[in-house]
Amino acid sequence: MTWLRTVLLQQRGSLFEWVPICLAIGIGWYFLLRFEPSSFFLICTGLAAVSLLASHRLLGEAFAPIAIATALVATGFVLAAYRAHDVASPVLGWRYYGPVEGRVVNIDRSGSDALRITLDRVIMERTSPHRTPERVRISLHGDQTHSITPTPGLRVMTTAHVSPPGGPVEPGGFDFQRHAWFGQLGGVGYSRVPLLAIEPADKGDPGLLVFRVRMAVAARMLEVLPGDVGGFAVAVTTGARSAISQEALADLRASNLAHLLAISGLHMGLLTGFVFALLRLIIALIPPFALRVPARKLAAGGALIVASGYLALSGGNVATERAFIMVAVALTALMLDRRAISLRAVAIAATIVLFLRPEALLGPGFQMSFAATTALVAVFGYMRDHRISMGPNWAKPVVAVLISSGVAGLATAPIGAAHFNAISHYGLLANLTSVPMMGMVVIPAAVLALCLAPFGLDWLGLWIMGLGLRWILEVGGFVANLDGARSFVAGPGVAVLPMMSLGFLWLCLWQGRTRLAGIAPVLVAFWMWHVADRPVGLIAENGALVGVMTDQGRALSKSKGAGFVAQNWLENDGEATDQITAASRWPTGGAALPGGVEVTHLSGKKAVAAFDGCGEGQIIVANQDLPTVKADCLILDPQRLRDTGAVAIFMRDSGVELTSVRDVTGDRLWTPWAKR
C-alpha cells in the first residue's frame, strides 16, 4: 500500500490528461453493452458519480484521484446514454416504395459515384408522421437528364425505394445502424425517377444560409479549376467531395494522402498558423501600433475568428468540429499566456469533443486525430525537455517535417489498418512530398483568394492553389502505382484497439519508469491481432451472399450482387481481390466446411421452389423465404435472418459455432430486431 501511495503521489500535476481517457472508458462501456440500460440504472450510476466527486477528499491526497477517475468513467457512461436517447428519432421499419417528399439539406456522392441527397421534413405516402424518419438519404440512379438540379433548401419529390439502415455486414463489423442513429438518418435508398421541385427554397432560413454559401464557393472553384483539381479544392475548403473522381480518391487512399481531403486538424492548424503568423507580421510592420498592443494575443484572436469561419464554411462536420476545438484550445491558451501546445491542451480538446459527441469515440477520425496529436506533442515535448537538437537552424524545418510525418504515421497506422484493412508502404514518402505543399502553397493561396474575392481577382489565388493541388494529385497517382504500394491486413478483434490505445497512452502520460509497462499491452494487442481467426463461413443479413474460406481465400457464392457486402468481407479477410475472382472459387453444387458441414446457397425463385428438404450436416441459405418442408438441417432464409442479422460460422473444438450480428450487438436503441 505504501508503494502504491508513492507511485500515485508521483503523478501529481499530470493527472488531468487522464480525464478524457476515463470518460472514453465509460463511453466505450456503454457501447459494448448488449442491452439498453434502464433509467433506474442510469440514475444510480449518475448519483454514484456525484457521490464519488463529493467525497473524494476523504480518501486522502494519494487515493482521491482513483475516486475521481471512477466518477469520470460513470459520467462517460451516463453521457453516452443521454446522447443516444437525445438524438432518438423514428427509423423506418419496413422496405418502402413510393413517393418521397422532403427538403434538401445535404448533397454528396455515394460509393458508386451516384449523386446523393439527404432530405429532412420528410413526407411518405401511407406513413404517419410519428413513424416517418427525421431524415432520409436517397441516391439518384438511372437516367436523371430530366431531373432538376438539387439546391440547398429546395423541396423536392421523387419515387424511391427506401429501407431501414442496414446492420453490420458481419458480426463485429462496422455498425451502420448505430452510425445512422446518431445522424438521425431513419431511411436510406435510391431512385431511378427524375427529381421534381415542388417548392422553392426558403431564402430566409438561416440554417441553410451557410449551405448556400458553401455551394456557391464550390461552384466558383469548379468554374476556375475544372476536373479533379477543382474537386480537391472544393473538398479542402467546403468539405464536399462530390466533385472529385473515384480514380483520384483511390490513388489518394492507396498513397495514404486521403487525409488531406478531410478538413481535419492538419488543415485547421495550417490555416490558423498561417493567419496567426501573417497578423503578427502585419502588426510588427507598424511600430507605433506594435509597441502598444499585445501582438501575439491579437493575432491569436484573429486566427480564432478565421478558424470559426472555416468551421462554418466546411459544413461543421464532426472531423472539422474536432479540429476547431483543438485549435481553439491552443489559441485561447496563447491569449491567456499559457503554453499552447501541450498534453493538457490535447486533453481539454478531447474532453470537449467527448462531451459534445460521445459517439465520436468509435470513429476512425477521432481515434487517428488524437493519436497523432498526442504522439506529436509527447515526442516534441520529450525532445524539448531533454534538449535534443534537430540540427542547425537551416535544417530544423526539414527535420521537423520528417519527425512529424514519421511519428504521426506510426501512431495512426495501426488504427487505419484496423478500420480500413490496408497499409500504405510508401505513405511516408507521399506525405513528405505533399504535406509541405499543402502548408506552403495551398493554404496561403486559399487565404489570398479569399482576400481578393471582393475585387473579382480570386482567380489568381485559386490558380496558385490549383498548382499545389495538382502536385499532390500527381504524387498520389505516382505512389499508388508503385509496385507493392499497398497491402491488406485482416481486421482485428474488438479488444485489440482499446488495449493498444491504453498501452500507448500509458507510455505517453504516466510519469516514472513504470510508464514502460505500457509496452506490454501494445505487444499483447499485436499478438491478438496476429492470431485472430476469420470466420470459415459468412452469410449476408438478407441471404443474398455466402462466403466460405478455402485454401485459395474466401469463395463467394455470386459474382454479381451484394457488392458492398462482398467488398467488405474480402477487405476484412485482408484480400486484395475482387468479387468475380472470389466467386470463381465457389465449388459447383455447394461448399464444404471443415468437419463435413456442407453449405448450399439457393439464389432465385427457381432454386427456392425446387427445394424439397435437406439432411443433417447441411446449412441451407436462401435469398427468399423457403416453404415449410421437413428438414433436419439448419435453414437461414430472409425470414430467419431478420431476427439475427448477418451470420459468421466458426470451427471450434466442440464443432460448428454460429455467431450472429444480434449476438454481438445485442438489443439496443438502434437495433430494431423482431422479438425472438
Q: What is the mean pLDDT of residues 392-410?
A: 79
CA 240 to chain centre: 16
For 92-126, what is each residue's pLDDT tens digit? 988 999 999 999 988 888 877 788 999 999 999 98
How much is the pLDDT for 328? 87
128-139: buried (b, 16+ CB within 10 Å) or exposed (e) per residue?
A: eeeebbbbbbbb
The rounded distance, in Å, linking the Cα atoms of 560 and 557 is: 9
Confidence of residue 36 (pLDDT cuts 50, 70, 90): very high
Cα within 13 Å of Cα(550), Cβ side: 20
The rounded distance, in Å, linking the Cα atoms of 299 and 308 is: 14
pLDDT for residue 595 is more than 90: no
pLDDT for residue 676 is more than 60: no
Angle in degrees, 0-180, between the axes of helices 496-509 and 364-385, rounded to the nearest 10:
20
The rounded distance, in Å, linking the Cα atoms of 662 and 75 is: 27
The rounded distance, in Å, linking the Cα atoms of 548 and 600 is: 11
Asked if 358 and 77 count as a contact pair (C-beta separation under 8 A), the reply is no
* Segments in 421-562 forming alpha helices (H): 427-437, 443-452, 458-480, 496-509, 519-531
For 469-497, what is each residue's pLDDT tens digit? 999 999 999 999 988 888 888 888 888 99
How much is the pLDDT for 77? 97
* Segments in 158-256 forming alpha helices (H): 176-182, 209-224, 227-238, 246-254
Confidence of residue 349 (pLDDT cuts 50, 70, 90): confident
Mean pLDDT of the chain: 86
How much is the pLDDT for 206? 66
Q: How many CB atoms lie within 10 A of CB 473?
A: 23
For 427-438, what is each residue's pLDDT tens digit? 888 888 888 888
How much is the pLDDT for 214? 81
Helix (H, G, I), strand (E, B) or coil at 285: coil
Q: What is the mean pLDDT of residues 330-343?
A: 83
DSSP symbol at 667: B
The rounded distance, in Å, linking the Cα atoms of 118 and 162 is: 12
**Residue 449 — φ and ψ, nearest 5°?**
-60, -40
pLDDT for residue 454 is more than 60: yes
Confidence of residue 513 (pLDDT cuts 50, 70, 90): confident
Q: What is the mean pLDDT of residues 497-508?
A: 92
pTM of the model: 0.88
**Beta-bridge mates of residue 197:** 156
Confidence of residue 593 (pLDDT cuts 50, 70, 90): confident
Q: What is the mean pLDDT of residues 149-154?
A: 85
Percent of the chain with pLDDT over 70: 96
pLDDT for residue 38 is more than 90: yes
Which residue did the predictor score with more confidence, 626 or 169? Answer: 169
Q: What is the mean pLDDT of residues 665-675?
A: 84
Helix (H, G, I), strand (E, B) or coil at 485: coil
Beta strands 553-556 and 546-550 are antiparallel
For 169-204, what is each residue's pLDDT tens digit? 999 889 999 999 999 999 999 999 999 998 887 766
The rounded distance, in Å, linking the Cα atoms of 282 and 57 is: 51
For 235-259, what is each residue's pLDDT tens digit? 888 877 778 888 888 888 888 888 7
Give, for 553, the enclosing helix (H) or strand (E).
Answer: strand 553-556
Confidence of residue 23 (pLDDT cuts 50, 70, 90): very high
Residue that has been written with the C-alpha cell 476484412 in this structure: 572
**Residue 97 — φ and ψ, nearest 5°?**
-135, 125
